[in-house]
Structure 1
Amino acid sequence: MSKVSGGYVNEYELVSIIHPRLNADETTAAIATVEGQIVSNSGELLSTDVWGRRRLAYPINHLLEGTYVLMTFRLAPDKAPVLEALLRISEQVLRHLLVRGIIPFQGHDRRDRDRDDRDERGPMASAPSDADPEMAEAEAAVAAE
């Protein structure tokens, strides 16, 4: 908790899922609305990271995907319930999770993890015909026919 302009503030992370039927401009407007609510409640927006459209783990209101957005900000503790109430009644936000404190990312990006897995497997094993000269001759004879 830090003290800013006479009051205490907490750092928060907000992950929200925006309705998938919104076009790009409407999605940007929905994100700007949430950012505006944070700022209008004397909050300080630290970052906004749009993860993009992703498949949901389970259907929400018969929808299978949504646009994920991560926001980090500072806000007075008494203003957090106000923000959550606004998110709950918003038709543009399918789900949200507001967590006090910024959680450091630990781990690798999925692409890095996949690359590391390929490196650990090493080069592909040679084909059995390369290991057995008789088998290679038989395959060559069949190919020549």
Structure 2
Amino acid sequence: MNYYENIVILDAALEDTGIDAAEKRITDLIEKMQGEVLKHERWGRRKLSYEINKHEKGYYLFFVFKSPPTAIKSLEELYKVFDPVFKFMIIKLRKKEIIALQSSLQAMEAKAAEQAAPDVVTDDVKDSVGEAAVPSVPAETTEPVE
């Protein structure tokens, strides 16, 4: 399996339900072709740097996935006939980029697991001796101050 990045520009006039449907259709096709979507982001509506097919704005979707090479041909065929998509780009990642991607995915998973784990606080905090831990307070000195 190869790793790919995919940027898709949809018609900005689409409503949120249309964008959801387009995103689902793309992910379903990748999964149908024995691929796996590793990461997907919605970059939102943005102004294009130049006019494309009489569009000045577009809605950007970003996918990172792994799949067999045959899935790319199917994706390109979908994009060519799928009306909401007016521009797309699929890039095969190199080994160096894959290693960076895997480390960032592991960091994101660790952060998500850390946020999902509730903080456990108990009233009966024991120290190593078995007694309740008491914060140390410096004893008052009775020595005369000069």
Identify the TM-score tier after normalising by the shorter chain.
0.5 to 0.7
Task: Report Cα offsets for 1:103-144 as digits up to 9, x if no partner.
Answer: 459xxxxxxxxxxxxxxxxxxxxxxxxxxxxxxxxxxxxxxx
In structure 2, what is the Cα distance between the partners aligned to 1:82 and 1:37? 8
In structure 1, what is the equivalent of residue 35 of structure 2? 43
**Total equivalences in the alignment:** 97
Partner of 2:6: 14
Cα offset, 1:16, TM superposition? 0.5
Deviation at 1:78, TM superposition (A): 2.1
Aligned-residue offset at 1:52:
0.5
**Partner amino acid for 2:23?**
I
Q: CA RMSD in A?
A: 1.5
Note the residue ranges of structure 1 that are not aligned, 5 or more in a row. 1-8, 106-145
SS at match of 2:45: strand
Distance 2:48 2:80 in 1: 18
d(CA) in 2 for partners of 1:48 and 1:34?
11
Structure 2 stretches lacking a partner, 5+ long: 102-146
Does residue 58 of the first structure (1) align with residue 50 of the second (2)? yes
One-letter amino acid of the structure 1 residue matched with residue 59 of structure 2: T
Q: Does 1:101 align with 2:93?
A: yes
Q: Which runs of 4+ in 1 moved over 4 A?
A: 102-105
Amino acid aligned to 1:24: D
For residues 56 and 24 of structure 1, the distance between their equivalents in structure 2, rounded to whole angstroms, comes to 19
Q: Which of these residues, 9, 12, 15, is aligned with residue 23 of structure 1? A: 15
Pairwise CA distance, 1:79: 2.1
Cα deviation 1:43-95 (Å, max 9, x = unaligned): 11101100000001111121100111110001101221111111121111110
Aligned to 1:38, the other structure's residue is in SS state helix
What residue number does 1:74 align with?
66
